[in-house]
Homo-oligomer: A and B are copies of this chain.
Amino acid sequence: MSFSELAERPETTPYDRLAALGIVLPPPPTPVANFVTHVAEGRLVFLSGQGPTEPDGSQHTGKVGGDVTVADAYGHARLTGINLIAVMHDALGDLARVKRIVKLLGMVNATPEFTEHPAVMNGCSDLFIDVFGARGVHARSAVGFGSLPGQITVEIEAVIAIED
């Protein structure tokens, strides 16, 4: 489903689009430590970094560019995006309250010589545009980290804006 097609169908909700994509939202992730999954301040909501956790709780691990391919890592970024949407649903009650995905920081657990971080992060960016349409188009950085918690392959944090 292309961005232009979605832009022409503003009456569809994010839930319609999730269903069309065959995505079932998992329960919101439980923080592994002394913090929360999101804090709202004014019209902005800051979301904690999420990772590629499957509904059964297992996580995808490894170094992208080493034992993890770009294609696999794209899928992990998409899965991370699903987990971020689960947080948004939990935080807002209704995904229709998402006015805009503002900014993503895409953190790739990569080898020192890896170059294709944008291709990995597109797994999340493509999903957000599929689900939120024009409201899902965001600013971002997609960069390589030396290590991530539990050696997960990707972690993504987000700033979103909500309707009044």
A39 to chain B, nearest CB (A): 5
**How many chain copies?**
3
A53 at the interface (CB under 8 A from B): no
A48 CA / B65 CA spacing, docked (Å): 23
Interface check A148, CB cutoff 8 A: yes
Interface size of A as a range: 35 or more
Task: Tell me if B39 and A42 are in contact (CB < 8 A).
Answer: no
Interface locus among A6-14, A15-23, A30-38: A30-38
Q: List 13 A-B contacts (CB under 8 A).
A: A33-B118, A35-B104, A35-B125, A37-B139, A38-B139, A39-B137, A39-B139, A42-B43, A46-B139, A46-B159, A107-B143, A116-B149, A146-B147
Which of A113, A116, A144, A150 has its CB near the most chain B CB atoms (within 10 A)? Answer: A144
